[in-house]
Chain A
Amino acid sequence: MLNENFMKYRLKKMARMLTFVGGAFLVLFFVSVSSVAQCSGFARAVAKPELSPYLHDGNYNATILGEGETIVLRKTVFKGQKYRLLVKGVSELPKLHFRVLDADSGLLFDNSQVEFASRWDFDVQTTRTIEVEVSVPDDENPEIDTGGCVAILFGLELD
C-alpha cells in the first residue's frame, strides 16, 4: 500500500515536471517563431519605408543579431543604376556599424565616418560585386546581451 502510494506520488511528480517542461518548450517555440515573424514585420513596416523614394528591389535580407555578431551580404551592383542601401536594426540595439567592401579591391564606405548613418546612396561606373558587412557593437553593459532584428535592404532609383 505504502509502495503504491509512493509510486502514485512519484508518477504525479513526474507528470507535473513533464507538464512544466513541455509548457516551457511551447513558450520558447512560440516566442522564437514570433521573434522570427516579427523580423519580416520590422523589415516591412519600419525599415522599408526609409528606402523611399527609391523602390525596394523586393529581396528580403533580415535576421536576428546579437551584440558582437557580424553578418555579410554579397550583391552584384550594376553600372547605370543608382542604389540606396539601408541597414536598420530594432531600437533596442546599439547603432549598427556597417562597411561596404569591393570584392576585388577594398573599403568603399564605412558608416562610422558619418555618425553611423543607416543609409548610403551610391552608383557604380562599372558593374561589380560588393560585400556589406554589418556588426552590432557591444554596448557598455556586459551583464545584459541585447539582440534583435537587423534588416539589410536595397532600393533602386526610378527613372
Chain B
Amino acid sequence: MTFFACNSGAKKESENSEKDIIESVPMNDQLVEDLNKSKLIFYSLPSPLETAMLIKRAGAGFDPDILNPLDNISKYNTNFKMALNLGIYSADLSYASLFDQSQTTIEYMGNARNLADELGILGAIDEQTIRQLEENMNNREVVMNIISETYMNSNAYLSENNRAAVSVIVLAGGWIEGLYLATSLTRGNLQNNKNLVERILYQKLSLVTLQNMMETYRDENSDIDRLLADMQELSEIFDKVTIVNTSEVEAVTDTLNRTTTIRAKSEIEISPDDYILLCEKIAELRNNFIS
C-alpha cells in the first residue's frame, strides 16, 4: 500500500509582490561544518498533546476502552514504572481532553498527579491544577492550556534538578502510548483511516529522535538501557516502512506575515502484514509498560 503526500493548495505568489520565495539550498560543506560546531543538541518528541491532535485531525474518534485503566496505578512501585506511566497517563488525558471527555480528563490528571508526587516532582500538578480543571471543564482551550503547562512544569523540574534521564522515560512513555492509541484506532488494518495510518508510519522519524535522546542518558540510567533495547525491537519493524522523497523541498515564505509553507512530495509504504506486526509490537511494548 502506497501513500502519496501531494503538493496541493499552492499559493499564488505572483498576486502579491510583498511575498518572497526563498528556495531551499542544497546542503553544502559550510552548512555541514556549521552544524558540526554545535555544542548542544536537543531532541524534541511529539508531545502527548501533539499526538492527540494528530489523532483527532485524522478523523479518529474517542475510545475509552483503549486507555490505561486507572486502577493499574497501584502496580507502579518503582521509579521506572512510575515515570513511564506518568507519560502514559499524560497521553491518555491529552487524548480525552481533545474529545471533551471532562470527567475522564480530571480522573487521569488525578493519577498523573499521584505519580508526579511519588516521583518527587514538586509543584507540577497540585490541588489548584485539579481545581482549575474542574472549574473550566467545558472550555477545551483552557483545559488544554492547563495540560500543556503541567507537562512543561514536570519536564522542566526534572531537567533542572539533574533528573533529565527520568524526564526522558516520561517522554518515552507518553510517545509509546500515543502510538498505541493511534494504532488501536486503526484495528491493525491499513484501510482503516489512511490519514491516521500515514501519521503512524511517519512516527518512524520520531523513533529516531527518541533513540538519540535516550542514547544521551544510557550510561546514567540502566532503565534507559532497557528501554533502548525495547525501542530497537520496534525500530527493526519500522525499518520495513519506506519513505521516499519524490520532489525537492521548497520553502515558500510570506515575509509580511512571517509564515512559511514547506512544500514537498513523498511516498510512504508498508505491507499489510508488516503493518500488523508493527501494531502488535507496539501493543506488546505498551502492555509491558502498564503491567
Q: A and B, one complex? A: yes
Shortest Cβ distance from A124 into chain B, in angstroms? 4
A107 touches B159 (CB 8 A): no
Complex partner residue of B49 from A58, A79, A108, CB under 8 angstroms: A58
Q: Across the A-B interface, how many residue pairs have beta carbons closer than 8 Å?
A: 198
Q: Roughly how many angstroms separate A119 CA and B6 CA in the complex, as a whole number?
A: 27
- Interface pair A105/B199, CB less than 8 Å apart: no
A57–B148 touching, CB < 8 Å: yes
User: Smallest CB–CB gap between B147 and chain A, Å?
Assistant: 7
Residue interface bits A97-131, CB-to-B below 8 A is 1, else 0: 00001101111110001100101111111111101
B205 CB contact (under 8 Å) in A55, A62, A73, A127: A127
B41 touching A108, Cβ below 8 Å: no
A58-B159 Cα distance, complex, nearest whole Å: 14
Q: Which residue of A lies closest to B248 (CB)?
A: A105
Docked Cα-Cα span, A43 to B149, in Å, equals: 11
Residues of A within 8 Å of B25, CB to CB, are 106-107
Chain B residues with Cβ under 8 A from A80's Cβ?
54, 57
Report the minimum CB–CB distance from A97 to chain B (whole Å): 11
Contact assessment for B43 and A74 in the assembled complex, using a CB-CB cutoff below 8 Å: yes
Return chain B residues, CB-CB under 8 Å to A37.
Answer: 160
Which B residue's beta carbon lies closest to that of A65?
Answer: B40
Task: State the main secondary structure of chain B at its contact with A.
Answer: mixed
Check: B47 CB closer than 8 A to any chain A CB: yes
Complex-state Cα separation, A63 to B40, whole angstroms: 10
Q: How far is the CB of B243 from chain A (nearest CB, A)?
A: 9
Size of the A side of the interface (Cβ < 8 Å), in residues, is 57
Whether B145 pairs with A60 at a CB distance below 8 angstroms is no
Contacts of B144 in A (CB 8 A): 55, 158
By beta carbon, the residue of chain A nearest B249 is: A105
Contact A156 B50 (CB under 8 A): yes
Please determine whether B53 and A156 come into contact, CB atoms closer than 8 angstroms: yes
Scoring B5, B35, B44, B259 by chain A CB atoms within 10 A of each residue's CB, the highest score goes to B44
Q: Give CA–CA (A102, B24) in the complex, Å.
A: 9
Query: Whole-angstrom distance from the CB of B11 to the nearest CB of chain A?
Result: 12
Say whether, besides A59-B44, A156-B49, A101 and B264 are in contact (CB < 8 Å). Answer: no
Q: Is the CB of A113 within 8 A of B22?
A: yes
Separation of A129 and B34 alpha carbons in the complex (Å): 18
**Do residues A78 and B42 form an inter-chain contact, with CB atoms below 8 A?**
no
B110 within 8 A of A: no
B37 touches A (CB below 8 Å):
yes
For A154, the closest partner residue in chain B by CB is B44
Q: Are A107 and B24 in contact (CB under 8 A)?
A: yes
Would you call B205 and A101 a contact (CB within 8 A)? no
CB pair A74–B156 under 8 Å, yes or no, is no
A15 CA to B245 CA in the complex, in Å? Answer: 69
Q: How distant is the Cα of A105 from the Cα of B26 in the complex, in angstroms?
A: 6
Residue ID in chain B nearest A158 by CB atoms: B141
* Assembled-state Cα–Cα distance A107/B253 (Å): 12
**B66-92 interface mask toward A, CB cutoff 8 Å, 1 = contact, 0 = none?**
000000000000000000000000000
The one of A59, A70, A119 in contact with B45, judged by C-beta atoms closer than 8 angstroms, is A59
Let me know if A12 is at the binding interface, CB within 8 A. Answer: no
Task: Report B83 CB to chain A, min CB distance, Å.
Answer: 15
The answer to the question of A152 belonging to the interface, with a C-beta cut-off of 8 Å to chain B, is: yes
Whether the Cβ atoms of B148 and A71 lie closer than 8 Å is no
**Closest 9 A-B residue pairs measured CB to CB?**
A58-B151, A40-B156, A75-B44, A127-B202, A73-B42, A122-B260, A126-B5, A58-B47, A108-B251
- 30 CB-based A-B contacts, threshold 8 Å: A40-B153, A55-B141, A56-B148, A57-B148, A58-B151, A59-B47, A60-B159, A63-B40, A69-B39, A73-B42, A73-B44, A74-B42, A75-B45, A76-B209, A78-B50, A81-B50, A101-B27, A102-B24, A105-B248, A107-B31, A108-B24, A108-B262, A123-B262, A124-B264, A125-B8, A125-B265, A126-B245, A126-B265, A131-B35, A159-B57
